Structure 1
Amino acid sequence: MPAIVLSGGPLHERARELTRSLEGLRDAIADLDLGIETLRATLGDFEVHYRARLAPAHEQMKRIESYVRMLDGWAGILKSTTKRVVKSEGVKVDARRVKDVAASAVFRGQQQSRADAPLRAEVIDTQPKLSAKTEASRIAEVKAVYRRLARRFHPDLARTEDERLIAGHMMARVNLLYRAHDLERLVALEKQTKAGEVDDSSLPIEEQIAELEVREAWFQAVLENLREERVALEKSPTCELYRNVEQAAEVSRDLVEELLRELEARVARAYADIIDAALRLERHVAVYNRDSTTLDNTANRESTANQGVVKRASGALTQVFDPYTDKGLVRLGLDELATARVSKPARALADRFEAYADSEPTVLSLLLLTYASEKCPFPLAGLESYEHIAQRLTYLDQDSEGTPCSFEEALVALDDVLQFGVKNVTQKVAYAGLRFVDKDASTAIAVALQRASVRRSFRGVLGVLGELVHCNGCDREVFSIPLYRTRGLDDLRASICPRCATTHSSYWMPKGKDVQAVLNPTYLDYELVQEWTFELAHLSIGMQLLPVQTEAMTVGDLKKRFYEDTLERHQIEVSRGQLALYQGGGKVPEKTKLAGLSERSFVVQFDGAKLRERDALELIRHRIRNRFK
């Protein structure tokens, strides 16, 4: 903080007022930064423990699901292609399966090495064990020193680029020492850095005031950014799961152990899904062998549910968006907690819904369309009218097994569970659509989705929720797949053709306003959409692709898209040549095929650029914040 000589008069009083305001803002920023760092470290420790206990069973579940999807992929190929095409497509499927198995083995080795490795830190805790009282006192002192250092060296409080560079390096050291609770080295660092402040007292009072006002506005923006970061952290799925685990521990329950037992039971049940899928494949083999006629490929309306169903499952655990949000393993834990609280009527409904999978496909599709509709606050693009719903049911019936029926017949069969009517109404507008009338129906669907046949149907439903458009890329009528072209910093939505990856629309929308945003994690879980993440400074930025894009693109293609959508779009002064993507400490060659990578995450570095990654991140956040103002 500049040392300013103050005397009397209105201008000097204004300078004193601004100085007091800056001191208060510094304190608030330091306190908030300490709270965020503490919570982040707590959640990081919790997730390491949670992952170590549940990851092996979760990986086994994903491998079973991958195998079932492989069998379903064969069945889909036999059902919808000629014998000539089956041969070439079959080789593709078989090759992908070999890649799945190999990638899974590599991935399990990576997970084990990660579980065995210590948390990333350059500081080794060599402190002797202390009593609980002494340890609490020590931690309190560590926090106090951290707060003082953060108040002095937080990079966002720097006035010049040089100051920011120095402060960034200092805070990196401070954070490492804080996580290790190394009080002695923190105190030593504080003493080393107490050298003199810059003396700005020679400046005219008007210039002092102008400088102080600029810094006050900047400090307030920094404080607002930190508040948003804290709220996002507290609302994250990992934090929600952590709170549940801590609350259970207070009544002597090991919630993680309970989740593990339930997951292991699901794994045991899931092996039966392989048998069902294999028998289904054998039925299609028999039909195919009996029918020697060639199907008309150009007229055949393939289900979007069968597009790219056989993909790598090895990236399931590494498919992250942010260090503490939207992780598959965390979502699974929260889903299991919800399932454990299911009532007997809901379980009975789940059994009834599961039975529809084998005999009444239209009825099951209508249930699943309603389930998707109930997840969103306003009508989905594909469920806006009676005609839209009937159109999608007819489309889904073309590739279903069992006996289809009309939309009207399905509505009557489910009149005790759901209805088409007024979904919600306000003083200004009413929305028609599908809604459950049985309060247990939505919970029952969540339970029924543990069965492979129901999941298979739901995957088909997800594939038709987008808008029906004529794609100029492949000259066909297709249901667009909604995804995030980028998310994390900037939520750029897009609708993509599942056949040829043509972009049908691309647009920004303020967070929380997009009706399909709530379904995006489900698209990821069912592998209709795949997410690639880029770690820029301390935040991960997600870019989503369809499986058909992953098969066709290289790392260089993905790097170009990241550069254009994230850096160039926000006028960050880094050239494309300076942008480098790393995995496992090594730079990834641009010619590498995305489909050949076992991980879907990269670390972003600016090789040879003057701008640091952290500074670029803050600039992007600032420009996004002010874009719509």
Structure 2
Amino acid sequence: MTHEAAGVPTTRNDEDRQDSDRPDASRPAPETQDHAPGAPDAAGGPEGAAPRPEARLAKAVQAAEQALIEFEIAVETFRVEVENFSRLHHQKLGPMYARLDELDALIAEARAARTKDPEDERKAREARAAVLPMPGVDELFHDWMDGDGLSPEAAAMLTEQPVRPPKRVRPSEEARRLYRDLARKAHPDLAQDETERQRRDEFIARVNAAYGRGDVELLKELVEEWAAGPVPPPAPLSESEELYARLEWLTRRKELLTVLAQELEEGPIGSMLRMAPDDPDQLLEDIAEQLLGEVSRRESELAEMVQ
């Protein structure tokens, strides 16, 4: 059966006219169906029925996951760019900034020596304090030094001697009592199945750690925890609840990444990168040229003051 558009004239050939004279020509041909009535359609429901709410929510979760992946890639890419640019900035311009700070301190000290003004002397002290000092030995070794020099552990490592074990804490009588009570109640050998044994093993490991430190308060908390019994497993979530929980996590993750991206963009290095996103190397060259000019001017000023 041919479908003709309304208002559009058509022509019929002889075969069409012969067909129209047949007795069955007036009856329309049965339409061909791709699937039986009531069969599910592409949306996962019966033909003509609205898609399930879970199906729409699943699509929203999938779209949010893809968007988060792309956002994470963009943030991580920018973070690496900021880190690399910061390293180059420090390597190339760090000595110039240090030279400027040193010249500022020398100029302030020369001015204070000439004027003897207490205010100039105060500014000179502040300028000198701003100059990055050479790190001391204690700063280089951080926590490796105590009041008598290198700590025993650090000295042993540097001289390739065995490290002495740390001092043992002798638990109090109360700690020993709490430990014995917990060990009797939660010992893994009292478990009736493998799951219970694993729970007891993990719990006793925490008890041993607290007892080793002599932490009475933590042992008391563990006593209360064991008395309360195992935490019941959470009730299984429905499909909708799982999808909503996933969507909420994706939203929180996006918010955290947004904060990180904003901090990167608003930081000093990120701000510099945004000034010349296509050619950051040239930006470094321009800044270096400006700093060299500042160094030259300060050196001239200092030379005039000390003549």
* TM-score, normalised with respect to structure 1: 0.20
**Structure of greater Rg:** 2
Instruction: Work out which structure has the larger RCO, using CA pairs closer than 8 Å and 6 or more positions apart in sequence.
Output: 2
Greater per-residue helix proportion: 2
Greater per-residue strand proportion: 1
